[in-house]
Every structure is written in structure tokens, then in C-alpha cells.
């Protein structure tokens, strides 16, 4: 049995981000892996172990067409070509499709092309030139915020997934970013730079939450006063539902709260916010705190059928972050978007700033605009992402944008939702394998995304063995002991739930990055360690003088 972490160690280590603690756990797990026949399993990170193939096939085939186009304008034996020409490129693309019916991804390219040129405002040459030139990566992004047709495709996809098919995507603007991590940084930075959020302002954070959302507001530059709203509701059986109490959300009626940050579905524990909570937030904004800004990170929304983002209910007040990384197995591509309503509260707030602040902002953005008052917040995000002075080179790289277009198209044109059904089936299957082997019970819940699972051992200790066991457990161990013991004894890496401002005695398991059958072992390892605590408790009852 592993030695316990002493209190001094625990106090020091617990201050670290769970993603930093993970590095120590990985070292311990790998050491155990070397010394035994156990398999090293890292279920601590959400990097998926699948990829979406159709859009990637289309990308590489489109690359062949793009190279052909470059060679039409200049072709040297030294390996130098020109750049694609727009005139007549659509006809050449149609011929390429006709002449190469068996190339991988050619069907998606053809269906996407037909889908786009059926739109009344689509110029076929302009569309194909964007694809061919973009995939070569030979130009700076123009427009810098996002390419014209990339925005149309990606906006339709994101709007459909976040708001449903009945929502008009043209109401939104997109800014393509280097993953949602970059999007997070840009939003935090530009809200501060434009005097929308200032040091010592009060903001709300719905927890448990992805650890950087806990850490960034505390940085000296921001130094926000944080009100935590905990997902601590329970059902009639005393089991966590991982929802928020609407009464806590109603506290945001106080106008001192300037913004609320939410991951929806949550990370962890991976549940969509229920209707009662959404209605409470809508009531807050509509009737009390009309300037409240909502920043919602919705990367896991595609795993809940019928998901609706907060931007669908409160478009005027909401900034939506969406990443393609988890759904399409594309964390390495670093592609995401910030989506905002074209009419939004932040533009209004900037317009109404005091004269002295407007003058400071005019000075900040004077190199890119004559009249700062007309510069939209989403364009300020773009400029701020490159310290304004480098605005002319801002924007997500063009090959990344083309891949984003093709991911969007593959989902938009998947009318039978075959890909989504398979993704949900994979996650659900792994989730059941995990829980069926822990000895604990997982109730059905239509709001569960299941990309992660957060297991609260105090809840299960109380339910299975009563308060005496819980008192013994919490008195003689500390919350990090669970994760370190799993790493040392079994070679399994999971993250501590307390590091996400969740229940201190919980663990977070990723359902994305191990093969299906490994989750049987992961569940068994968790049960093994839990049973060790129970055995120690039973032993202590026989020998009351021993801890």
C-alpha cells in the first residue's frame, strides 16, 4: 500500500494546477509501469484518441488541386511554383472532381462545392480560389478575422450545433482562433483592454470548471473578485446531479457582477446546464442585470443531443467559444472560433464609455482606424491578439481555416447524423465500462455529455458505508492521496477534482483518450483503491488505538 502524502506536502502540492500535479502522477505511474506487468493508463487529459477522417481526406485531396493550380501560373524544376489564379478556377475544380472520382474525400469536396454555389451570394471562382490559395498557406489571412467562405460554412455549423437548425446563422460574427485556449486569452485580454472588466470587478464562475478559468481571473493584471456558483445539487437518493441551484444564479441580479464564466456542458463533470438554471440566468439578464456579460465555452455541446448554448437564449449578452478539437479529434490542429451576435451589449458598453476612456482607446487603436467608436469588439479582439501594431498580420493560418471549413461541411452535410451517433456511442460505451466496474451506480441523464466523469468518493463512502467511514476517511487521509495512490499502485493517472474547484475528494476521469476496454481496468483500479480505504477503516475498528 502506498504511503500517505503528509500534510505539508499536500498543502504545497494542492496549490498547483491539476495539470501540473498530473506531471508528478505521470512519473509515478510510469515508474510502476516499468516495475510490473500493469499497463500505464493516463486518463487525466481530454485529448481524444480518434480522428474524423472524411474532412481530412478532403483536405489532402484539395491540397493536390491547390498545387496543380500553383503550377499553372509558374512551374520550375527547382521546385518553385506560383500562386493560384482566380479566373476560371471553378471550372478547373469541377474538371478535377470529374477526372478523379476515386480520390479520398472527393465526394465531400463535391458536395461542399455544390452546397455553397447554390447560395445566391456565392461566387464560384472566389470560393474555390479561397480553398486553393488557403490550403497552400501562401498569404496572410484576408480578412484577418476569418475568411469569407470559411465564416459562412463554420458559422452555419457552429450555429446549428449551439442554437439549433431554427436559428439564423447570419446574426453572428466569427473570429477564428488558435484553439479555444487562445480564444480564452483574447476574451480576457480585450475585455480588460477596453475597460469592460476592470481590476477588482466582481465576476461569477460556475464550478467545477476547467482549471485555467480558476487561475486567470486571479492574475495580477485582472485581480477580479470571484463569486463561485457550485454545481452541488443532489437528487432524492443523495447522488450528485451536477447542476446549479437557481437561487445561486439569482444572486447575479446584483449589478456589481459584471460577467459570468461557464463551461457548458461542464468540464468536469460533463453535464449540460438544465432548463431551470438557464431560465434563472435569462431572468437575471432580462429583468435585473442587463449589462451582465456571459462567456460560455461550449466545446462539449456536440455530445448532448439537442444541446442549446446560452448564446441561443441570450445572444445580445453572450460570447461563445467553440473548439473543433474534441469532436473531430483535432487538438493538434488548434482551430476554434469566438462567436458573437453582430448586435451585442459589449459594443454598446464601449460606445457609452466616458470620454477619457474613449480617448485612451482611440490612442490604442489609432493605427488601424480613424474613428475608434465604429470599431466592433470582435475586431478589437483580432487587433489585440497581435498587440494592435501587428493587426495586418493577424488571423488564424489559412490551412487551419480550410480544415475548419471542411470539418464544418462534413457535419453540416451529414444529414443522418452518422458521425455524431458514433461519437456519442463511443463515449457512452466507455462511460458504462468505467462505472460498471467501480461498484458505484450511474443513473441515466439526458443532459450528460460524458466526455469526462467526476467520481465523488465521499458520496459513495457515505452511501455504502455511512458517516463513520467518511469521518475516518477524511481524518486520516487527504484528497490528493487518492490520485497518488492510483498512480503508485496501479499505473493509472486521473486528476483531482478539487483542482477544478469541485468536491475535494473527487477524481476526474477522461473518457476520451484510452481504448474502450481500458475503462474496465480503470474502474477496477478505482474500486481497488477505494476498497483499501474501507479495509483500513475496518481494521481501525478492531484496533481503536491505531489511526
Q: What is the largest CA-CA distance in the chain?
A: 88
Least confident of 65-79, 390-404, 406-420: 65-79
pLDDT at position 219 over 80: yes
38 plus 75 within the same structural domain: no
Q: For residue 107, tell me if it sits in a domain.
A: yes
DSSP readout, 173-219?
EEEEESHHHHHHHHHHHHHHHTTSS-TT-EEEEEES--HHHHHGGGS
Q: For residue 71, tell me if it sits in a domain.
A: yes
The residue that leads in pLDDT, 273 or 77, is 273
Whether 146 and 134 have beta carbons less than 8 Å apart is answered as no
Element (H, E) at 508: strand 506-510
Question: Distance between CA 263 and CA 433 in Å, rounded?
Answer: 26
Residue 7 corresponds to which cell in the numbers above? 500534510
Number of structural domains in the chain: 3
CA distances from 267 to 181, 450, 459, 502 (A): 14, 10, 19, 10
pLDDT band at 542 (very low <50, low <70, confident <90, very high): confident
Whole-number pLDDT of residue 1: 36
Least confident of 31-45, 264-278, 471-485: 31-45
443 plus 496 within the same structural domain: yes
DSSP readout, 375-392?
--HHHHHHHHTTTTTTGG
Which CATH number do you get for residue 224?
3.40.640.10
Percentage of the residues of the chain whose pLDDT score is greater than 90: 87
15 plus 86 within the same structural domain: no
Q: What is the mean pLDDT of residues 378-395?
A: 96
Q: What is the mean pLDDT of residues 101-125?
A: 97
Q: What is the mean pLDDT of residues 223-231?
A: 98
58 plus 207 within the same structural domain: no
Domain residues for the domain of 341 are 152-370
Neighbours of 520 (CB within 10 A): 14
The residue that leads in pLDDT, 207 or 545, is 207
User: pLDDT tens across 244-262, in order?
Assistant: 999 999 999 999 999 999 9
Kindly report the backbone phi and psi dihedral angles of residue 293, in degrees, each rounded to the nearest multiple of 5, phi listed first.
-95, 135
Least confident of 72-86, 418-432, 512-526: 72-86
Closest among 100, 45, 77, 169 to 511, alpha carbons compared: 45
DSSP readout, 112-146?
HHHHHHTSTT--HHHHHHHHHHHHHT-S--SSSS-
pLDDT at position 546 over 70: no
230 plus 251 within the same structural domain: yes
294 plus 187 within the same structural domain: yes
Q: What is the mean pLDDT of residues 506-528?
A: 96
243 plus 196 within the same structural domain: yes
Whole-number pLDDT of residue 33: 61
Last residue of a domain, one of 107, 136, 165: 136
Closest among 188, 158, 191 to 173, alpha carbons compared: 158
Q: What is the mean pLDDT of residues 402-419?
A: 97
Whole-number pLDDT of residue 3: 47
Whether 511 and 453 have beta carbons less than 8 Å apart is answered as yes
Closest among 159, 164, 216, 217 to 337, alpha carbons compared: 159
60 plus 23 within the same structural domain: no
203 plus 328 within the same structural domain: yes
pLDDT at position 16 over 80: no
Q: For residue 1, tell me if it sits in a domain.
A: no
Q: For residue 536, tell me if it sits in a domain.
A: yes
To the nearest whole number, what is the mean pLDDT of the chain?
93
The residue that leads in pLDDT, 62 or 76, is 62
Q: What is the mean pLDDT of residues 62-68?
A: 97
pLDDT at position 8 over 70: no
Q: For residue 141, tell me if it sits in a domain.
A: no
Closest among 34, 43, 28 to 489, alpha carbons compared: 28
Whether 96 and 105 have beta carbons less than 8 Å apart is answered as no
Q: What is the mean pLDDT of residues 449-464?
A: 97
Whether 48 and 513 have beta carbons less than 8 Å apart is answered as yes
Q: What is the mean pLDDT of residues 43-63?
A: 96
Question: Distance between CA 12 and CA 219 in Å, rounded?
Answer: 19
Least confident of 33-37, 212-216, 452-456: 33-37
Whether 324 and 404 have beta carbons less than 8 Å apart is answered as yes
pLDDT at position 39 over 70: no
Kindly give, in sequence order, each residue whose CB lies less than 8 Å from that of residue 142, ignoring residues fewer than 6 positions away: 395
The region that residue 501 occupies, defined by phi over 0 for left and psi between -120 and 50 for alpha, beta otherwise, is: left
Which DSSP category does 271 fall into?
Answer: B
Question: Distance between CA 509 and CA 495 in Å, rounded?
Answer: 7
Whole-number pLDDT of residue 20: 72
Q: What is the mean pLDDT of residues 55-79?
A: 95
pLDDT at position 13 over 80: no
Which CATH number do you get for residue 68?
1.10.20.110
Q: For residue 486, tell me if it sits in a domain.
A: yes
223 plus 90 within the same structural domain: no
Q: For residue 384, tell me if it sits in a domain.
A: no
pLDDT at position 192 over 70: yes
Q: For residue 278, tell me if it sits in a domain.
A: yes
38 plus 64 within the same structural domain: no
pLDDT at position 394 over 90: yes
| Residue with the three cell numbers 458514433 | 422
Which CATH number do you get for residue 456?
3.90.1150.10
Whether 241 and 235 have beta carbons less than 8 Å apart is answered as yes
Q: What is the mean pLDDT of residues 136-161?
A: 97
Whether 194 and 361 have beta carbons less than 8 Å apart is answered as yes
164 plus 312 within the same structural domain: yes
Q: What is the chain's Cα-based Rg?
A: 26
pLDDT at position 47 over 90: yes
Question: What does pTM read for this prediction?
Answer: 0.93
Which DSSP category does 61 fall into?
Answer: H
Amino acid at each position: 500500500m502506498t504511503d500517505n502524502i503528509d500534510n505539508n506536502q499536500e498543502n504545497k502540492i494542492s496549490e498547483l494546477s491539476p495539470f501540473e500535479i498530473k506531471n508528478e502522477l505521470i512519473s509515478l505511474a510510469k515508474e510502476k509501469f516499468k516495475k510490473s506487468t500493469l499497463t500505464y493508463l493516463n486518463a487525466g487529459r481530454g485529448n481524444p484518441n480518434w480522428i474524423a477522417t472524411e474532412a481530412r481526406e478532403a483536405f489532402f485531396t484539395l491540397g493536390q488541386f491547390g498545387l496543380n493550380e500553383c503550377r499553372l501560373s509558374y512551374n520550375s524544376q527547382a521546385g518553385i511554383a506560383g500562386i493560384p489564379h482566380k479566373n476560371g478556377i471553378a471550372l478547373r475544380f469541377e474538371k478535377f472532381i470529374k477526372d478523379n472520382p476515386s480520390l479520398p474525400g472527393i465526394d465531400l469536396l463535391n458536395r461542399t462545392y455544390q452546397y455553397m454555389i447554390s447560395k445566391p451570394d456565392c461566387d464560384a471562382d472566389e470560393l474555390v480560389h479561397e480553398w486553393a490559395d488557403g490550403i497552400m498557406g501562401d498569404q496572410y489571412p484576408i480578412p484577418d478575422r476569418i475568411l469569407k467562405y470559411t465564416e459562412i460554412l463554420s458559422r452555419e455549423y457552429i450555429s446549428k450545433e449551439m442554437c439549433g437548425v431554427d436559428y439564423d446563422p447570419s446574426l453572428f460574427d466569427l473570429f477564428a482562433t488558435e484553439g479555444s485556449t487562445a480564444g480564452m486569452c483574447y476574451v480576457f485580454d480585450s475585455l480588460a483592454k477596453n475597460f469592460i472588466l476592470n481590476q477588482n470587478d466582481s465576476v461569477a464562475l460556475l464550478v467545477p470548471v476547467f482549471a485555467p478559468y480558476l487561475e486567470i481571473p486571479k492574475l495580477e493584471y485582472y485581480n477580479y473578485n470571484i463569486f463561485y456558483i457550485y454545481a452541488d445539487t443532489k437528487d432524492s437518493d443523495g447522488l450528485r446531479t451536477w447542476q446549479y441551484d437557481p437561487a445561486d444564479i439569482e444572486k447575479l441580479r446584483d449589478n456589481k457582477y459584471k460577467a459570468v464564466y461557464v463551461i457548458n456542458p461542464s468540464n468536469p463533470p460533463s453535464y449540460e446546464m438544465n432548463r431551470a438554471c438557464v431560465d434563472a440566468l435569462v431572468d437575471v439578464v432580462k429583468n435585473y442585470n442587463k449589462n451582465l456579460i456571459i462567456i460560455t465555452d461550449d466545446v462539449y455541446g456536440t455530445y448532448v443531443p439537442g444541446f442549446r448554448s446560452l448564446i441561443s437564449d441570450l445572444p445580445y449578452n453572450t460570447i461563445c467559444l467553440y473548439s473543433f478539437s474534441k469532436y473531430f479529434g483535432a487538438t493538434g490542429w488548434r482551430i476554434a472560433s469566438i462567436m458573437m451576435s453582430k448586435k451585442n451589449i459589449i459594443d454598446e458598453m464601449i460606445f457609452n464609455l466616458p470620454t477619457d476612456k474613449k480617448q485612451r482607446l482611440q490612442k490604442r487603436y489609432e493605427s488601424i482606424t480613424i474613428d475608434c467608436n465604429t470599431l466592433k469588439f470582435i475586431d478589437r479582439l483580432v487587433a489585440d491578439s497581435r498587440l494592435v501594431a501587428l493587426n495586418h498580420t493577424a488571423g488564424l493560418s489559412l490551412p487551419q481555416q480550410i480544415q475548419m471549413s471542411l470539418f464544418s461541411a462534413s457535419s453540416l452535410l451529414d444529414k443522418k447524423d452518422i458521425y455524431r451517433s458514433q461519437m456519442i456511442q463511443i463515449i457512452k460505451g466507455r462511460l458504462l465500462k468505467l462505472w460498471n466496474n467501480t461498484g458505484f451506480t450511474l443513473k441515466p441523464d439526458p443532459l450528460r455529455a460524458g466526455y469526462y466523469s467526476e467520481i465523488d468518493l465521499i458520496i459513495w463512502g457515505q452511501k455504502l458505508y455511512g458517516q463513520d467511514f467518511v469521518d475516518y476517511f477524511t481524518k486520516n487521509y487527504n484528497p490528493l492521496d487518492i490520485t497518488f495512490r492510483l498512480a503508485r499502485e496501479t499505473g493509472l493517472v486521473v486528476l483531482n477534482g478539487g483542482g477544478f474547484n469541485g468536491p475535494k475528494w473527487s477524481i476526474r476521469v477522461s473518457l476520451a483518450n484510452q481504448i474502450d476496454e481500458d475503462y474496465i481496468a480503470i474502474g477496477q483500479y478505482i474500486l481497488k483503491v477505494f476498497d483499501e480505504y474501507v479495509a483500513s477503516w475496518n481494521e481501525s475498528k478492531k484496533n481503536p488505538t491505531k489511526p
